[in-house]
Amino acid sequence: MVTCPFAGCLSDENEFVWPEPESWDCSIDLSYNLSCYVYLGGLSSPIVTLEHPENEELWIVELSGQINSWNGEVVSQVADLSPIVSNCHVEQGLLGMAFADTSNGSQTVLLSYIEEGSCDGPNDSDLLLSSATVNSDGTIDMSSITVLKTVEQPFQKS
């Protein structure tokens, strides 16, 4: 009997819990003439980092729905999308983000995420592609989030 593909699917666990962040030693073979530095810690599930098209900062997108900016010194919250993003299973969450090329000077981001749904049962929440406006203070206007495309996900993502 092979059960590896079903790992975690048959448990009595009602809700997925994000694993604790792990840290690794920053060690590199010195013969390669490379060095290793930890620039930023404390992130739970970073999946994408993007260079802001106008500001001298990186935007860090996390699977949990958090989006932060980092200017090399200070981390600032850009958005907390966790209320609209499913975090029931490890293949769900905020999956991607991109800065949209807008000719009118407004800042828009494109977001890809699994929509929030019940963690009980099959949790067949859909994949959404949305756009959102970036406010002048560098935060995402949550009320501006507009779903552009819905991709049906008929099976649980775990």
- Predicted confidence at residue 69, as pLDDT, reads 95
- Predicted confidence at residue 3, as pLDDT, reads 41
pTM above 0.75, yes or no: no
Instruction: Give φ, ψ of 97 to 5 degrees.
Output: -155, 150
Query: Which whole number is the average pLDDT over 25-34?
Result: 80
- Give residue 42's pLDDT band: very low, low, confident or very high (50, 70, 90): confident
Q: Does the pLDDT value for residue 44 go beyond 90? A: no
Q: What is the percent of the chain with per-residue pLDDT over 70, rounded to a whole number?
A: 72
Residues 86, 92 contacting (CB under 8 angstroms): yes
Q: Mind listing the pLDDT tens digit for each residue in 49-107? A: 999 988 899 999 999 999 999 999 999 999 999 998 887 766 688 999 999 876 666 68
- Nearest Cα neighbor of 123 from 97, 85, 149 is 85
- Predicted confidence at residue 66, as pLDDT, reads 94
Residue ranges of domains in the chain: 39-151
Q: Where on the phi/psi map is residue 50: left (φ > 0), alpha (ψ -120 to 50), or beta? A: beta
Scanning the structure block, which residue is given the tokens 């448990």? 11
- Predicted confidence at residue 2, as pLDDT, reads 43
- Predicted confidence at residue 155, as pLDDT, reads 61
